[in-house]
Amino acid sequence: MRSMSEATAAIQPRRTAPDLGALPEWNLDDLYPAMDSDEVKRDLARSLDESVAFEERWKGRLDGLLDTETGAAELAGAIREFEALQDLLGRLISYAGLQHALQVSDPARAKFYGDVQEKLTNAGLHLLFFPLELNRISDERIEAAMADPELAHYRPWIEDERKERPYQLEDRLEQLFHEKSVTGRGAWNRLFDETMAGLRFDVDGEELPLEPTLNLLQDPEEATRRKAAEAMVRTFREHLPTFALITNTLAKDKEISDRWRGFKDVADSRHLANRVEREVVDALVTSVREAYPRLSHRYYALKARWFGKDRLEFWDRNAPLPKAPQKTYRWEEARDTVLSAYAGFDPQMADIAKPFFEKGWIDAPTKPGKSPGAFAHPTVPSAHPYVLLNYQGRPRDVMTLAHELGHGVHQVLAAPQGPLMAPTPLTLAETASVFGEMLTFRAILSRAEPAERKALIAAKVEDMLNTVVRQIAFYVFERKLHEARRQEEVPAEEINRMWMEVQAESLGPAINLGDGYETFWAYVPHFIHSPFYVYAYAFGDCLVNSLYAIYQESEDGFAQRYFEMLKAGGSKHHSELLAPFGLDAAEPAFWSKGLTVIEGLIDELEALEE
């Protein structure tokens, strides 16, 4: 998933929009025909009725089932019922979320999204008991029961759920946390989204939303980039109290939850959700921070020389190279480029991606009110994923298409695992997306003219720095913020200071973090929606760099091993998935191998200067 970032593309003011061809839009009928349809009303009613019936049928019985000869098979049947309910609830919330993403500022869609969330929260209250009660069965009894083939099918999910046991609360407290999420965390998330969607930035007298304003930071004209940055600073400063309040409230909400559940470190709950050990993440963070001078510091110093400057202004960080060719890809060319790159790896990969283009699974145009950035939503295994883009025809947009389609391919391959085991931990969720992006980049680079090559490699390095260095800096920033919030409310000025401190460390002396940049933390949605999500991008990028190096060294049998890894979904630990490739994320050499790929591209750029 791509966040609202400088790498996203959108409409430029006062410029003739390029002819991109016919851009596809979503057909959400595979989920429901309309927000007010009878099917939605029926399934909302079913979600509550069947959840209540499930609770009445199984609550208080799970441990006792195992005293009978057929108990293990009955427990497997209960899990199948629970799984079917997860698919039903997931279909409803996916549909509501996708409708909302198409028009974030539309009151009718916002109300529909909020109403569905509330109804599903009520239904979910009757399902909370199930994993809690399942986890109260002793290890010995559940292990013996899993000798039954039907129950053994769910072993990965059962073992995953049991990792949550040390942090579970008494049932009534779990119900309270669950029910209050609508008026607590969920409400603050919605406030952030709707506030951000409503912001306007005055660039030379033209009022723009965030997405096109961010895009101007990639404009070839320095004056345009500066004006866009200044417009962002003015608007962010005006709304900074609101964003500081949202951030403080959600950080405190997380601190309360962590304290009640017994999580020691501010990021431990995320590590648990990602099924990754704290030590592995710490090794990643340490490796990347130690590499800052060899990566970001060195690249931005090189880029400053290309611009004839000692230091770049912060609004020049993602600027196109001087005199670099600005190729525009029509939609058909972007589609063919990505599918060809996928097919070059393995025809199966392209075959899985083709329906996205043919069946209304992609929404590509940039439209007022549409959610910015890009994402691939898995929806539920009984349906299929959907991809959202804001496509404007630049090479980075083609890379974004390849990235999100990689997610889509992963989600399609994992779907047979079912609603409980298809979802992939965030640390592995970026694997297929970054791999698909790398395949596409290499395919484009192989056909590039010499004049294009430098710009393509530079753009790829910048994307990798945004994915690895920038996201680890984000993680360091979040740690500082959440650790401070455990003690007291953090004023906006202190948040600004923390932001500037980590940005200076990560970007290096060749970037001038001038007046106003201290506010740029305010628009990053992951800080709001998914605390500590960000390190998953760096994890995925370094993982893929290592995988791609192995692919280049020996292609025989690689594709089959790769597809088996994707098909596993969330049913295996990262150590088990990486073992067939000879990789181990617990080894420092693993991260070094991934970071070396970025260094190699910077080496190549420096060689072009000689």
pTM score of the predicted model: 0.84
Domains of the chain: 331-465+552-581 (3.40.390)
CB atoms near residue 491 (< 10 Å): 12
pLDDT at site 265:
96
Judge whether 292 and 469 are in contact, CB under 8 Å.
yes
pLDDT of residue 15: 52
Taking residue 29's Cβ as centre, other Cβ atoms within 10 Å add up to 10
- Residue 609: pLDDT over 80: no
End-to-end CA distance of the chain: 37
The runs of H, that is alpha helices, within 346-491 are 347-358, 395-414, 426-429, 431-447, 450-467, 469-485
**Which tokens is 392 given?**
């404007």
| Residue 5 banded pLDDT, cuts 50, 70, 90 | very low
Q: 147 and 69 in contact (C-beta within 8 Å)?
A: no
Residue 1 has pLDDT above 80, yes or no: no
The three-class DSSP label of residue 269 is helix
Cβ 420 vs Cβ 134: under 8 Å = no
Q: Are 313 and 448 contacting, i.e. CB atoms less than 8 angstroms apart?
A: no
pLDDT band, very low/low/confident/very high, at 174 (cuts 50, 70, 90): confident
Per-residue model confidence as pLDDT tens digits over 494-550 = 999 999 999 999 999 999 999 999 999 999 999 999 999 899 889 988 888 888 888
What's the pLDDT tens digit per position in 471-509?
999 999 999 999 999 999 999 999 999 999 999 999 999
For residue 372, what pLDDT is reported? 81
pLDDT of residue 73: 96
pLDDT at 175 over 90: no
Q: What is the CA radius of gyration of the chain?
A: 24
What's the average model confidence in pLDDT over 99-123? 94
The C-alpha atoms of residue 413 and residue 577 are separated, in whole angstroms, by 15
Residues in the chain: 610
Rounded to 10°, the helix 588-609/296-306 angle is: 10
Going by their DSSP bridges, the two strands 511-512 and 312-313 should be labelled as: parallel
Computed over every residue of the chain, the mean pLDDT equals 92
* Residue 36, token pair as written in the block: 């007010």
Band the pLDDT of 252: cuts 50, 70, 90: very high
DSSP H or E run through 332: helix 331-345
pLDDT classification of 10: cutoffs 50, 70, 90: very low
Instruction: Determine the pLDDT at residue 583.
Output: 87
Helix (H, G, I), strand (E, B) or coil at 503: helix
> Which residues, in sequence order, are CB contacts of 550 under 8 Å at separation 6+?
558, 581, 582, 583
Which pLDDT tens digit goes with each residue over 425-469?
878 888 899 999 999 999 999 988 877 888 899 999 999 999 999
Among 343, 352, 450, 437, which Cα is nearest to 395's? 437
DSSP annotation of 319 reads P
β-bridge partners, 201: 208
Q: Which residue has the tokens 């883009």?
A: 389
Q: Identify which has the larger pLDDT, 370 or 296.
A: 296
Q: What percent of the chain clears pLDDT 70, i.e. is strictly above it?
A: 97
Q: Which residue has the higher pLDDT, 593 or 259?
A: 259
Res. 4 pLDDT band, cuts 50 70 90: very low
Structure confidence at residue 555 (pLDDT): 67
Cβ neighbours of 608 (radius 10 Å)? 12
Tokens of 453: 């090559």
Residue 103: closest CA among 197, 195, 201: 197
Whole-angstrom CA distances from 192 to 61, 106, 522, 524 are 42, 15, 10, 10
Q: What is the pLDDT of residue 98?
A: 98
Contact 394, 23 (CB under 8 A): no
Mean pLDDT confidence for 282-296: 95
pLDDT, tens digit, 9 for 90 and up, residues 345-368: 999 999 999 999 999 999 999 988
Q: Is the pLDDT of residue 9 over 50?
A: no
CA–CA dist 8, 535 (Å, integer): 19
Q: State the pLDDT confidence band at 13, using cuts at 50, 70 and 90.
A: very low
What pLDDT does residue 610 have?
Answer: 60
**CB–CB of 582/546 below 8 Å?**
no
- Identify whether the C-beta of residue 542 lies closer than 8 Å to the C-beta of residue 334: no
Question: 316 pLDDT exceeds 90?
Answer: yes
Residues 399 and 92: their CA atoms lie apart, in Å, by: 30
Side-chain-facing half-sphere of 358: CA atoms under 13 Å: 8
Q: What is the DSSP string of 206-246?
A: EEE-HHHHHHGGG-S-HHHHHHHHHHHHHHHHHHHHHHHHH
